[in-house]
Amino acid sequence: MVRVLTAHHFASQDIQTCEDPVAVAAVPPDKLLIASADHVVEVRDLSKGGEAVSTFPTVDLVQHMAYCSTGNYVATLEGSPSGATGGQGCVARVYSRWDAAGAPAAPGAPGAPAQSQPMRARIAGCVTPSPVQEDATLDMIELPVRGRGGATALACCQATGNVLVACHRILVFFRYIVRTHESSRTRYIDFEDTEVRVSLSFPPTQAFLREELAVCMGKHSLLVFRLWHSQSQGQAQATGSSRQQENPSEAGQRPSNASSLHGPGHGPGHRPLNLNRILQVEQEVNSGRRVWGTGPGTGVSELGVSLPVTVQLPAIAAERASRGHCSPGSGVVHHSNPFVSDPADVAANVFAGSGAGAASDFQVEALLRLQLAGDPQGGHGEEFGCLTLQPLYRREPAASASPARASTGRRQGGQGSARQTQSPTRRERPSGPGAWLSSRHRAQLCGVACLVATQQEGYLYHFPMDGSAPAAHPCVAVYPFTAPVSRVVLEPLALHALTDTGLETYTLRSAHRSLAALQGVCPPADDPICLIGLRPFLGARHLLASGPHLVLLATSESSSPPVADAPAAASPWTLYSLRLPTPEVLFSDMVAVGESHRVASPSTYCHLLGEAHCVLASARHLSDQPGATASPVAKVLDESEEALQALYRESCAYLGDFHVMSDDAADRDLAARYYRMARMEPQRVLDRMAKHAQRLGQPVDHNGHRGQAQDDGLLDSDVLCAQLHRGQVHYLEAEVLEARQGPSGEPLDDQGARQLTSQLLELLEKRREGDAVDPVRLATLVLRARLLREYAASRTLALLRSAAPPSAAGKTKASVVLALLLLEVQVGGVASGAASAAEVLGLLQALPSATLLPELARHWELLLDGQGLSELATVLMERRPADMAALLAQLVEADTMPLARILKMMLDHLSTQIGSSGSGGSVVSVVFQRFLEAFFASFFAANAVDCLMDLATEEALKILVRSYLSDLQTPPAPPSSPGSLAAGARLEPLARVLLDEDRLPFLDAMPPFAADLSERLASPVKHAPPPPQHGSENKKLSLRKLQAVLCSSRLPRACVMEVLRFVRSQPKLFGNLSLQALCLPVREAVAVLLDFCPQAVLRYAQDLFRTEDDWRHLLAGLDTKRKTHSQNQALSALYQQTMTDVLDHLAHSVDVDTLCRLLHLDVALDVAGADLDVVRAHLPHLHTCQRVAGANAVRNYIASTSAAFLSQLDH
């Protein structure tokens, strides 16, 4: 749908006559170039009504002409095109110093003076001009293009000065460069062949170039691509990512094999999805087992998408690509596009010219590929007729802009432009192999709009250039023209189309995405396109825009412009110079039209408000010329700039007035943002709301009181009062959350904060008379708004208690309980032990973890107070320690907070709590330990044993080990002692011990998990350990945790030695013996176990022995101990039994030869006079070993025979 409204009016119109133009070009801001068949280019001054002011000659007949502001040169295609007429093809030439060397136009014979002007000709990059340059000399530079049929299309970049020349299907890139003459030190422009060639699959008829983006259009094909160097890819991505302001998407990564063409469907905005996982999560959400949200551990953070998920199957995607590829924001539901998107036979490849191997490092990336669909007979019923490009540069602040404006450079000669290029105040040009593709203003390029038109329709595409991810549908608008179109112009404020019936003017959609990123909010792009101007012009053939002028060239004849061999015949042409309206005038006209539809059609009123706002926003933030300052498009005085700013803020206020009365909460959010963009204080907004309601027929005071209706025929007073009250509350809530004031956005002072919160609470309290306050909404506001907690805590607490009475305590939401607790902490009720605080603490205890944890995760900032933990965090630690530990682990796992910050906060908080009287230091220790255990459970599950830890992770593991050692050293506190868990606090036991699967079995045979024999073994040993200790179950659990960590091989060696030193310094430490056995080397640990715990030696050997020497050392130690304690019957029997157990294990585990080596029997039998008693003593073990070996052999034989038999049966 297209809205037809008359809102675009030209300020003035000038009419002149001219000769037959063979080519025309605009020279912003006020010049026009007209090339005639006499090889003369006429310069027209549009500021003087289109009068001819000068001329300059050309070498041959001009077929195409373009002007470039960087370098101030005119590029042409001259000659006769190759074809049936026998032409040899066109030549690409560049004319410099055309404005300084131009001859005055003589009335009646403008061509005669121009042909007598001096001209210096040279070849680009090959010939150096003469050091003596005269001001009246015209420089002609011929671009050396070697290709079949000559040049067919030409484009120049207004930002870099580079030139693109198309030779049939080959694109040649020339680099604009400013050189210095060695002898005279004069500067001149030149063009250098980059030896970069791009081969297309179709011959282009039109081309455009802007920075690194190129557009080529043939009769039936269109290709938009970016050319970039592989070495500068990472730098470009980093620059683009830093320029993203409001877009949350990460910059797209270019593919590694980008030398081939990539379609838009495989860009960085697309990534594969795990469909099975998405379906599983959706089932859990539907069944209630999962709460969908955006916090840690919820579906959005896990899947990266939001339900419902739409998956386009390949067949559906291909069909939508070929038909109706427009975005939802196009304003037109179009299902019959005459072309196919992303066709395989529209392609481009980069190759190097002669003698340039480095050119192969350049690659192309396709942004758009189109091809007209053929008819059933194999032909094409449509052709691409019009193509235009509009860059969108972000305007620089006036203080940082260069004093030499781009318009000044356009009016200077070639040398002046060279001096301007080297101005020290300008931004330096990028460096690198592909730096010539970008200008010094590349960082300000937000996007590029491209319009391609067939005979009846125009398709507007937008390509982001700021590093943000491209949209899935680059087509932002479709323009259905009223008649066949011949020319199209994109000027900064509107689109102008020249059709068979006249001039049509439409609103734009090219800047919406860029404005949304710059402003943060923009009117929707899916509003219908507006036809705001329709004027009849008969016989018009050309349409150009030059600054504030729109130029039309019309003739009464129906024939096309003359060709090279056509006779020169005087055919009068008319030049219409239309002065475009300024942004202020166009805004006023649109608003005036919208006011007439305000009551009858509010949607039309809002639509025109949005269009008018985009006009001012585009003029304020964007420009189609690089290096523009933050001023309007037209050259105006400072008063006009201030007027533009005032109108822009007024447009924001108008949009806020409309959206604030909406019933939709999303629209009211937009109202608050628009009011903020208008730089309006909250009191001014409230006054404006009251006046706005009074204009509609219902006078309302600032506090929301209803007055008497002035006219019963107007809007219903009750509905209007409810809408206004809802809008006021919503706006004040947004302002309380923002907590900013003034044009500079500074934080609110105390007086402003108290006034703002008082106004909001007064509206909420008055609403209680008719409609109750939503407790969940108010609680969410309390949790998010700092001002309510700091400046009106008591008043907010009373309002929230009245909205959520104690009778509904069993159904109280987690957000309400958390808000009540936060306010009680703020007013001091928890610290003083007030009854109301005790009631809230009871509600907190009753909340299940499944509802409390998601709410805490959404508002985790409340746990912080500067660089430390808040008082609320302390209360939650005492009341819900397990939940606090789980929350901290979730924050680290979700990368919400770094581990190092949590470690520092917890350590600082722990030291503070321990140092205070009646502290809860043990509670903090428990939470800290539980947090570290939860973190490392996830970390160890995702990382291998030999992974490298960063400093924070390694420090966290050391802290965890030290906490276990502290638990072993500290006597257990009684439940009622200070520092223990609060009454009613729940601390569920761990489901499993961290790394418990790595804990070695021999530890269960050692005290305190087994009988302690150290008292009987200590008497004959020096430095005996103290009597056995009987610790609590908590100490046993801590010891088990520490043992598991020591057995996991994940602890750094330095930390293990630290544990050993601590254990040795604390002989009364609970579990001292087992910790020494884990920290000491194997042989030293065996010695300690033989002294104090021989019953665990065999299990220790089974777990840790790896070599025969270890077993041999153990056997020798047992034999020594047995002999040493031979007088003590009990000890001798103990060691003898241990020896027997070890030998039995070896007899069942090793072969006979190994057992003989371990018992030294192989040596004893070979030595004469050997002790046969020793051999006889070990014979039972040798016999057992032989029997075991025989049994194993029989078992293996049976297994192999059975396997062979089964295999034969299978065959």
CA 398 to chain centre: 29
3-state secondary structure of 1155: helix
Q: What is the pTM of this model?
A: 0.75
Q: What percent of the chain has pLDDT over 90?
A: 45
**Cis ω before 203 (30° cut-off from 0):** no
- Residue 137: its pLDDT value, please? 83
**pLDDT band at residue 629 using 50, 70 and 90 as cut-offs:** low
Question: What tens digit of pLDDT does each residue of 443-453 get?
Answer: 999 999 999 99
The set of residues, in sequence order, having a beta carbon less than 8 Å from that of 78 and lying 6+ positions away, is: 58, 59, 60, 61, 62, 63, 90, 91, 93
Ranges assigned E (strand) in 50-205: 51-57, 62-68, 73-80, 89-96, 119-123, 138-142, 153-156, 163-167, 170-180, 187-200
Q: Are 264 and 367 in contact (CB under 8 A)?
A: yes
- Residue 415: its pLDDT value, please? 35
DSSP letters, 389-435, are EEEEEEPBPTTTS-SS-HHHHHTS-HHHHHHHHT-TTSPPPP-STTG
- Residue 260: its pLDDT value, please? 43
CA–CA distance, 127 with 461 (Å, rounded to integer): 42
- Residue 425: its pLDDT value, please? 39
3-state secondary structure of 342: coil
Show the tokens assigned to 456: 């009846």
* Residue with tokens 């033989």, as numbered in its chain: 1090
Q: pLDDT at residue 647 above 80?
A: yes
Show the tokens assigned to 745: 């956005």
CA–CA distance, 119 with 109 (Å, rounded to integer): 20
3-state secondary structure of 844: helix
- Residue 728: its pLDDT value, please? 87
CA–CA distance, 19 with 1033 (Å, rounded to integer): 105
Tell me how far CA of residue 1210 lies from CA of 1197, 1198, 1199, 1201, 1204, in angstroms: 20, 18, 17, 14, 10
When mean pLDDT is compared over 699-713, 1018-1032, 1161-1175, the highest value belongs to 1161-1175
Q: What percent of the chain has pLDDT over 70?
A: 74
CA–CA distance, 621 with 516 (Å, rounded to integer): 11
Nearest Cα to Cα of residue 230 among 349, 367, 360: 360
Q: Are 63 and 22 in contact (CB under 8 A)?
A: yes
Q: pLDDT at residue 678 above 50?
A: yes
Tell me how far CA of residue 112 lies from CA of 107, 108, 233, in angstroms: 10, 10, 53
CA–CA distance, 1115 with 1174 (Å, rounded to integer): 14
Q: pLDDT at residue 651 above 90?
A: yes
CA–CA distance, 933 with 497 (Å, rounded to integer): 69
Neighbours of 835 (CB within 10 A): 8
Burial of 410 (0-12, 13-18, 19+ CB in 10 A): buried
3-state secondary structure of 1167: coil
Instruction: Identify the residue with better confidence: 1190 or 977.
Output: 1190
Q: pLDDT at residue 66 above 90?
A: yes
CA–CA distance, 513 with 509 (Å, rounded to integer): 8
Q: pLDDT at residue 263 above 80?
A: no
**pLDDT band at residue 520 using 50, 70 and 90 as cut-offs:** confident
Q: What is the mean pLDDT of residues 569-588?
A: 88
Q: pLDDT at residue 315 above 80?
A: no
- Residue 551: its pLDDT value, please? 95
- Residue 382: its pLDDT value, please? 83
Q: What is the mean pLDDT of residues 1122-1141?
A: 88
First to last CA, the chain: 75
- Residue 695: its pLDDT value, please? 63
Ranges assigned E (strand) in 266-354: 339-341, 348-352
Instruction: Identify the residue with better confidence: 933 or 303.
Output: 933
Question: What tens digit of pLDDT does each residue of 808-828 get?
Answer: 555 788 999 999 999 999 999
Instruction: For residue 374, give the DSSP letter.
Output: P
**pLDDT band at residue 307 using 50, 70 and 90 as cut-offs:** low
When mean pLDDT is compared over 239-243, 339-343, 1037-1041, the highest value belongs to 1037-1041
Q: pLDDT at residue 494 above 70?
A: yes
* Residue with tokens 């050391």, as numbered in its chain: 958
Q: pLDDT at residue 1021 above 70?
A: no
When mean pLDDT is compared over 378-392, 787-801, 980-994, the highest value belongs to 787-801
Show the tokens assigned to 962: 């030290």
Burial of 237 (0-12, 13-18, 19+ CB in 10 A): middle
Q: Are 112 and 106 in contact (CB under 8 A)?
A: yes
Q: pLDDT at residue 985 above 70?
A: no
CA dihedral angle for residue 1192, residue 1195, residue 1199, residue 1202, rounded to 10 degrees: 160
Nearest Cα to Cα of residue 258 among 362, 405, 152, 146: 362
Q: What is the mean pLDDT of residues 260-285?
A: 54
Q: What is the mean pLDDT of residues 1029-1036?
A: 71
When mean pLDDT is compared over 183-192, 242-251, 463-472, 564-573, the highest value belongs to 183-192
CA–CA distance, 173 with 143 (Å, rounded to integer): 10
Q: pLDDT at residue 468 above 60?
A: yes
Rg from Cα positions in the chain: 42
* Residue with tokens 């590349």, as numbered in its chain: 442
Q: What is the mean pLDDT of residues 1166-1175?
A: 58
**Cis ω before 29 (30° cut-off from 0):** yes
CA–CA distance, 1014 with 1092 (Å, rounded to integer): 5
For 838, phi then psi, to 5°, come to -65, -35
Instruction: Identify the residue with better confidence: 22 or 148.
Output: 22
**Edge-to-edge strand ranges of the sheet holding 540-546:** 12-18, 573-579, 549-555, 540-546
Which residue segments constitute the domains of the chain, with CATH numbers given? 2-230+380-394+413-556 (2.130.10.10), 681-771 (no CATH), 772-847 (no CATH)
Identity of residue 1175:
V
Q: For all residues of the chain together, what is the average pLDDT?
A: 80
- Residue 742: its pLDDT value, please? 57
Q: What is the mean pLDDT of residues 1042-1049?
A: 94
Q: What is the mean pLDDT of residues 314-337?
A: 48
Question: What tens digit of pLDDT does each residue of 754-785 get?
Answer: 888 998 998 888 764 556 788 899 999 999 99
- Residue 699: its pLDDT value, please? 46
* Residue with tokens 């907070």, as numbered in its chain: 897
Q: pLDDT at residue 739 above 60?
A: yes
**pLDDT band at residue 950 using 50, 70 and 90 as cut-offs:** very high
- Residue 484: its pLDDT value, please? 94
Q: pLDDT at residue 202 above 90?
A: yes
Q: What is the mean pLDDT of residues 518-541?
A: 90
CA–CA distance, 498 with 496 (Å, rounded to integer): 7
- Residue 410: its pLDDT value, please? 34
Tell me how far CA of residue 583 lies from CA of 46, 312, 463, 736, 951, in angstroms: 20, 42, 25, 34, 58
CA–CA distance, 45 with 33 (Å, rounded to integer): 9
Spell out the alpha helix ranges (H) of 288-371: 299-303, 314-322
Q: Are strands 213-217 and 221-229 parallel, antiparallel or unpaired?
A: antiparallel
Spell out the alpha helix ranges (H) of 463-601: 512-519, 583-596
Instruction: Identify the residue with better confidence: 966 or 128.
Output: 966
Identity of residue 578:
L
- Residue 741: its pLDDT value, please? 65
Question: What length does the chain have?
Answer: 1211
3-state secondary structure of 625: coil
Show the tokens assigned to 856: 């805490």
Question: What tens digit of pLDDT does each residue of 77-120 get?
Answer: 998 876 655 557 889 999 999 987 666 665 444 444 556 678 88
CA 288 to chain centre: 31
Q: What is the mean pLDDT of residues 1031-1057?
A: 90
Question: What tens digit of pLDDT does each residue of 605-627 get?
Answer: 999 999 999 999 999 999 988 87
CA–CA distance, 1110 with 154 (Å, rounded to integer): 85
CA–CA distance, 712 with 698 (Å, rounded to integer): 10
Q: What is the mean pLDDT of residues 27-34?
A: 94
- Residue 297: its pLDDT value, please? 47
* Residue with tokens 């500074």, as numbered in its chain: 746
DSSP-assigned beta bridge partners for residue 57: 40
